[in-house]
Amino acid sequence: MRIIGSDKIGFLVTEKHGSTSLVDLLTEKHGYDFINETFEDYPSEKIILFPWRDEFESLKSGFLQDTMVGVEKLLSPNVPDENLLCIFRYLFNKKNNVNILTVGWSHKQLFIYEDSFSYFLTDNNKFYFFDIHDLSNPKLIEWISKHDSRWKDVSISHDNSHQMDTIKIKIKNILSQIKEELGEDYLDYTNIQDWTTVTHYLQFMSMFFESRKESNQFLNF
């Protein structure tokens, strides 16, 4: 497990679950010399916190991120929108049977394959999870400071902006146009039913985590 934190308490770091914000805590600009990155086996001796994000939301975000990277690598920055439109019109047409909504690589990973998933299967007084939207909530730092006072002046910025935001907007606009053109034949990455290989898994995990929110492990701020 990849952990970022102090010797008493730390965050489990997983792609698409606030990892960018957590890694930022290690930079010199903050001066948090007691916060380090470690790799530990399950279970850890320290208190572990996990910023949970709905898995379907993670997959959609990962899909967009991979698509942006692909556009940057394959096409020049000044590629005409019409060229991108033609490519996407083919890829996102269900009639062409191009299965681009797949998981298991790059930024589209399933959390169940993480070793740390075991934490969710048993009650554990050294593991807690919370909604990722509370990652920058001062109440989170207050809670952490009760276990390690060195955290009292720590601030976590949960900024989702990205240097490729311009490309993301272009991609979303083009996909919106294609969706309108293709109608029911449009392969919609925002529709859980179109992720055919993991639809039932995603629905199950959503129900599973909703039930785990009733446990003492969930921190509700």
Residue-level pLDDT at 120: 78
Phi, psi of 39 (to 5 degrees): -120, 120
Domain boundaries, the chain: 2-212
Prior bond of 80 cis (ω within 30°): no
Q: With H, G, I as helix, E, B as strand and everything else as coil, classify residue 123.
A: coil
Q: With H, G, I as helix, E, B as strand and everything else as coil, classify residue 185.
A: helix
Alpha-carbon distance of 154 to 148, in angstroms, equals 11
Chunked into runs of 10 residues, the chain (221 residues) has average pLDDT values of: 95 90 94 95 87 90 86 68 87 93 74 72 85 95 97 85 70 93 96 90 88 91 91
Dihedral sign of CA atoms 72, 73, 75, 81 in order: negative
- Amino acid at site 84: L
Residue-level pLDDT at 208: 87
Q: Residue 39: which H helix or E strand, with range?
A: strand 36-39
Residue-level pLDDT at 76: 62
Residue-level pLDDT at 70: 81
